[in-house]
Structure 1
Amino acid sequence: MVTITAQESTEPGAIPHGLLFASDALLLGRKTYEGFAEAWPARTGDDYSDRINSLPKYVASTTLQKTTWNATLIKDVVAGEVAKLKEQTGPSILKFGTGELDHTLMQHNLVDEFHFWLFPVVAGSGQRLFEGIDTMHLKLVDKTTFNSGIVVLKYSPK
């Protein structure tokens, strides 16, 4: 039996903090990596910044030529390399951002958990996150509700 707990909180930052500290490595696409590598190295002196800066990072890109910021470039056979990483790095690889890398990971069944952040806003337009992805059935594992109306839904593939 799976028990789904709904938690009320005023601290949305607690979720990414918990995920980051439970992770052994970060997996990033090129665009997310470039944004993070520009911003995070200058930030130090707090637990979150120090943790994100110290973790090994793996960057999937066919166009990037080199990396810095404790990062290793994955240029070829991304799905195969990520599968190897899952075996080698320990219990948890955290992926930030959305984009083409998500499609590759999902198409090769390399995603163990999804954390969807639902904001109380109707945008009316925008890019579809899972355009072109085959149907994937998910199981709700946890739900956290914040006083702001933000809901974080944690799912695992069935």
Structure 2
Amino acid sequence: MRKLIESTFVSLDGIIDDTRPSTASRAEPQHWGHPYWDDDHAGYAQKLTESADAMLLGRVTYEGFAAAWGAQSGPGADEMNSMPKYVASRTLTETTWNATLIQGDVAEEVAKLKEQPGENILKWGTGELDRTLVEHGLVDEFHFWYFPVVVGAGKHLFEGAGFDTTHLKLADLNRFDSGIVVHIYVPK
């Protein structure tokens, strides 16, 4: 069975994104995380991408990635653009950027994807989709990239998720010279 691996950037105060107009762009990971993106960061992200042959994305991450990666080419970008993507959304009616819109029950469809032959399925970002994934025990590994920055406002990791307490086991830890520490957790 394929593993579903979730990878998310997190500030030290637990911020993952900006969803409130009052916080503007300061809470967006591409702004507060950018000063720490170096060769270690790129190498780890590449390793995660190379371990997968498909991506699972929520609408917000999908739209952001499509805008950022869709026009790029070259090493890394070509792999990202050509990898099949599965998008969970209640509002999209069509997709581009080599993506398939998940139809029907998301938990059932993701479980079917995991049963198919292949490598890992990589999910970037934490958001509304995680409520369903965690509730149904579909995430096999969480890679939380903790950045050495306090953002002060924005959306917190698993904010409003609404699922029961979920215990995880620390499986590994990766430290980068930039100060990023990636905590890898698996279900307990």
TM-score range normalised by the length of the shorter chain: 0.7 to 0.9
SS at 1:27 equivalent: strand
Verify: 1:107 aligned to 2:132, yes or no.
Answer: no
| Matched residue, 1:134 | 164
CA distance in structure 2 between the aligned counterparts of 1:81 and 1:137, rounded to whole angstroms: 24
- The whole-number CA distance in structure 2 between the counterparts of 1:28 and 1:34 is 9
What secondary structure sits across from 1:13 in the alignment? helix
Matched, 1:37 2:66: yes
Question: Partner of 2:171: helix, strand, or coil?
Answer: strand
Amino acid at match of 1:24: D
Distance between the aligned counterparts of 1:152 and 1:10, measured in 2? 15
Q: List 4+ stretches of structure 1 deviating above 4 A.
A: none
Q: How many residues align?
A: 149
2:172 match: secondary structure: strand
Tell me the residue number matched to 1:19.
48
CA RMSD in angstroms comes to: 1.5
1:144 aligns with 2:170: no
- Three-state SS of the structure 2 residue aligned to 1:118 is strand
Query: 1:149: how far off?
Result: 1.4
Letter in 2 for 1:44: S
Gaps of 5+ in 2: 1-37
Gaps of 5+ in 1: 1-8
What TM-score does the superposition give when structure 2 sets the normalisation length? 0.74
Deviations 1:10-68 (A, max 9, x none): 6121111101011010000111111112221211121x111111111000001101011
